[in-house]
Amino acid sequence: MNTKMSFIELYVACFLLLIALILGVILLFSQRSLFEIKSSEPVSLNQNIISESEINSDTNIDSDSNIKIIKAIYLTSWSASKNSFIDYLIDIARSTEINAVVIDVKDFSGYVAYDTAVLEVEKYGAEQKRISNIDFLIEKLHAEDIYVIARITVFQDPILARARPDLAIHNETEVDSLWLDNSGLAWIDPAAKESWDYNIAIARDAVSHGFDEINFDYVRFPSDGDLKKMSFPFWNEKVPKYLIIRQFLKHLREELSDVKISIDLFGLSTVSLNDLGVGQVIEDAFEYSDYVCPMIYPSHYADGFIGFQNPAEYPYEVVKYSIEGALKKLMVYKQSKETNAQLRPWLQDFDLGADYDAEMVKAEIKAVYDALGNDFNGFMIWSSSNFYTIEALEPTLK
């Protein structure tokens, strides 16, 4: 009786062990299959993993180089000296897509707006300390993640012209008199190389105080006034004007090789086949600058431009046509020469030729996006009053 029962118990135990082994194998394979299925599925965003498309969706970041795309507004040095305007700028930067500012360091008057270490600036009486503490200002803006650009007006310079008339354009019909443009401002001969180094010294000083970029304006020969009466102490009037400006740009690049440089050009340079009579050829800016900034103000185009009696009334069409022309020139240029230059135009936010409300300014911005596509690298907006149409700007959660 006991032997029989032991045999039955042994049989049952072996049977149960076999069943357990089979179930274990089944469970093992089912777990492996489940692991393979899960590992082949996309990772859920709930696991705090951000996809590449989300990383690149920030319009203020260049997905290729991770460099901030600049969207700037302009301030005069007088505005930059006032707390109210700086607070206004910061409010705009916090609430909209704007992330940069262009501040006059040397404007149309020829005055430098803060206390510099450039001996010639003091010697020529060109220092006017409008901004009392430039270092504090830039630190404050940087703390708000605002990119700060120093604007320098180059060859339109009444202060330098009076201090150094040997470098200035003169009126050939009046002995020892400076030639003046329609605004009553004196100019430096663009071929006067000593003036090149004067502006470069100012640029270097600005960089030493923390400016992120130097924007050079009025890089050209005069365009208005009695041009036939101009007399040049250095330019022989035989060398093409564009070659003089090209040499200047080359010198800038050589002397400021470690500095971000942007060059302002007439808007028509985007589509013109010549130097516009002032020495500006956009391809030269491609070669020697980081950012090429055509001033595409629709109000500044002549009646009849691309078929519009009043181009100012057609901001989208004028800006898009101009930027497409500039981009085409840049692409052609890149076929034969290397350049890292980017297009970053100036846009209009002022009433001239038409009332520029939010929809008009928006149309300009949209035109830049549409024309440049993946080559979009921002824009800068100009208002001489330094008040801007906030409604035209994209709001942001910063």
Q: Which pLDDT score is estimated for 41? A: 30
- The pLDDT of 104-122, averaged and rounded, is 97
CB-based contact 345:377 (threshold 8 Å): no
Q: How far apart are the C-alpha atoms of 47 and 248, rounded to whole Å? A: 55
Q: Which pLDDT score is estimated for 37? A: 27
Give the angle 117-119-123 at the CA atoms, nearest 5°: 130
Among 28-32, 147-151, 283-287, the range scoring the smallest mean pLDDT is 28-32
Digit-coded pLDDT (tens) for 129-154: 999 999 999 999 999 999 999 999 99
Mean pLDDT over each residue of the chain, to the nearest integer? 87
Q: Which pLDDT score is estimated for 121? A: 98
Digit-coded pLDDT (tens) for 40-95: 233 222 323 223 333 333 446 554 444 589 999 999 999 999 999 999 999 999 99
Q: Which pLDDT score is estimated for 68? A: 81
Residue 57: what residue type? S
Pull the structure tokens for residue 391: 């409604």
Backbone phi, psi, residue 282, to 5°: -65, -30
Q: Which pLDDT score is estimated for 105? A: 98
pTM of the model: 0.84
Pull the structure tokens for residue 372: 């440049």
Q: Is the pLDDT of residue 12 over 70?
A: no
